[in-house]
Amino acid sequence: MAIYDFPKKTAVEPITGKKPANKNGRYVIAFLLIDLVIIGSVLFGLYLYPRLVASYEKMKSELPSIAENWIKERFNPPSAPEKGIGKYVAQNTQEQAVINTVEETSPAVVSIIVSKDVPIFEEYYINPFEGMPDFGFPSFDFQVPQYRQKGTEKKEIGGGTGFIISSDGMLITNKHVVNDNSAEYTVYTNDGKKYPAKLLAKDSFQDLTILKIQDDTGVIFSVARLGDSDGIRIGQSAIAIGNALGEFRNTVSVGVISGLGRTVTATGAGMSETIQDVIQTDAAINPGNSGGPLLNLRGEVIGINTAIASGAENIGFAIPINKAKRAIESVKASGKITYPLLGVRYVTITEKVKKDNNLAVDEGALVKKGENGEAAVTAGSAADKAGIKEGDIILEINGDKITAENSLSKILLNYKPGDTIQISILRNNQNIILSAVLDERTE
């Protein structure tokens, strides 16, 4: 076998064609790097590792509290914590004012239940032809339903809201809530206790009634604070509290005063009456809220909720509390509500009344007979004594002009029985000034 001995050649790099580097230098660098890694590992183990372990343990122990604080700051839950854990914090001063007002006034707000003995009827049947001769015709068993009274039963026939105005249990509500003199009235206070109540007086001009809780145990009742309705402004906040739907006691709704000086005609329960100079609010007033308080953010009663606009969204009306104060003071002083009485029947003059009656003025009160022929001037009344006659036009009372917005009855409510007033009259196109001493009228 032949052995070929090829001549030795210098190897070349496949791509560059350069000579390969010296491999001995590479080995030296590699060993140096290994030494550095070994030395660094020893130093890390001796010095840095214990400190890293301590930092890790500290961070692990503090992490839950850091996470909890972050969640509280990030989400800030608005709802109150569970009872016993903490206290609810209001989001702003207005919200806190609403809360304070409700907490202060709710104990003075009551629910009124109206009950009455109503007859119980039973149904029975009779044959109207029973006992009559049949004249040879086939007889039929006719049965005609009849009804007869079978005793009476106590039954709830209505309800509403009221609020207490004296510590001995005097309270005020709407007249239409407690208009039945033969009914019985039960008052439920905010703490769930119930008391019989007695009707003291009615204010037919203002749709108001004052009741008295009948209690002989000496209970001191919480009293609602009365404010000043003359100072309220459109846009200010308003809070209504009442027995919504006759079922949900002390229901709270919040809104604003949306109008002032309104005149509305309220109908319901077979009644119809016009109420002047009332407050309009968009705080929801539901059936059953009648007679409840309308409050400002200071916790003062500024109105008495009385009616809602049918078919509207949150248009309700309240009687200004200043108009109720006179009735309250009168009952406290004399046990009854008295009114000033002039003794005339009249119609407030409008453009239509002016045209229909061929009048010379478009304002004032035309003295005229009632629809059923009732006398225009009541005999022996203050108007009769002052010399007012049918056909006169009353223009002013003590300089206060009579207009469609400022009626004669509204003006007279500013006075008391026994007050002397100056009356400006237009008679046969001549101005006359008469003087009258107002009479007293009670319901």
Residues 286 and 303 in one domain: yes
Which of the two residues, 63 and 245, has the higher pLDDT score? 245
Residues 193 and 235 in one domain: yes
| Cα(160)–Cα(108) distance, integer angstroms | 14
Q: What pLDDT, on the 0 to 100 scale, is given for residue 242?
A: 87
pLDDT for the residue numbered 14: 40
The question of whether 207 is a catalytic residue gets the answer: yes
**Same domain assignment for residues 278 and 401:** no
Residue 334 among the catalytic residues: no
User: What is the CATH number for 321?
Assistant: 2.40.10.120
Compute the average pLDDT of residues 142-155: 66
* End position of a domain, from candidates 334, 353, 379: 334
pLDDT tens digit sequence for 326-344: 889 888 888 888 888 999 9
Q: Are residues 346 and 286 in the same domain?
A: no
Tell me, what CATH number does 374's domain have? 2.30.42.10
pLDDT (average), residues 122-143: 63
Query: 250 and 273: one domain?
Result: yes
280 contacts: CB under 8 Å, gap ≥ 6: 257, 258, 259, 260, 262, 315, 316, 317
Please indicate, yes or no, whether residues 120 and 46 belong to a single structural domain of this protein: no
Please report whether residue 12 resides in a domain: no
Task: Decide: pTM greater than 0.85.
Answer: no
Shared domain for 326 and 361, answered yes or no, is no
CA angle centred on 394, ends 356 and 320, rounded to 5°: 100
- Indicate which residue of 111, 229, 253, 290 is catalytic: 290
Q: Which of 316, 334, 352 is the last residue of a domain?
A: 334
Whether 281 has a pLDDT exceeding 70, the answer reads yes
Residue 73 included in any domain:
no
Does any domain span residue 435? yes
84 within some domain: no
Same domain for 242 and 123, yes or no, is yes
Cβ count within 10 A of residue 317: 23
pLDDT of residue 396 exceeding 50: yes
Contact 341, 381 (CB under 8 A): yes
Instruction: Kindly name the residue from 207, 277, 392, 439 that is annotated as catalytic.
Output: 207
Q: List, for residues 302-320, the tens digit of each pLDDT value.
A: 999 988 887 767 788 999 9
Q: What percent of the chain has pLDDT over 70?
A: 68
Q: For tokens 């202060």, what's the residue?
A: 104
Domain boundary among 308, 334, 360: 334
Q: Are residues 355 and 303 in the same domain?
A: no
77 inside domain: no
- Find the domain containing 156 and state its range: 92-129+144-334
Same domain assignment for residues 327 and 370: no
Contact predicate 296/232, CB 8 Å: yes
Q: Which of 75-79, 126-130, 408-412 has the highest mean pLDDT?
A: 408-412
**CA separation for the pair 160, 167 (Å, rounded):** 21
The answer to whether residues 309 and 415 belong to one domain is no
Which tens digits make up the pLDDT trace of 355-375? Answer: 988 888 999 999 998 888 889
Q: Are residues 329 and 270 in the same domain?
A: yes
What is 329-382 written as a DSSP string?
HHHHHHSS-EEEE--B-EEE--HHHHHHHT-S-SSSEEE---TT---SB-TTSH
Count of the separate structural domains present in the chain = 3
Which residue carries 């500290």 as its tokens?
Answer: 58
Catalytic residue status for 106: no
Residue 9 belongs to some domain of the structure: no
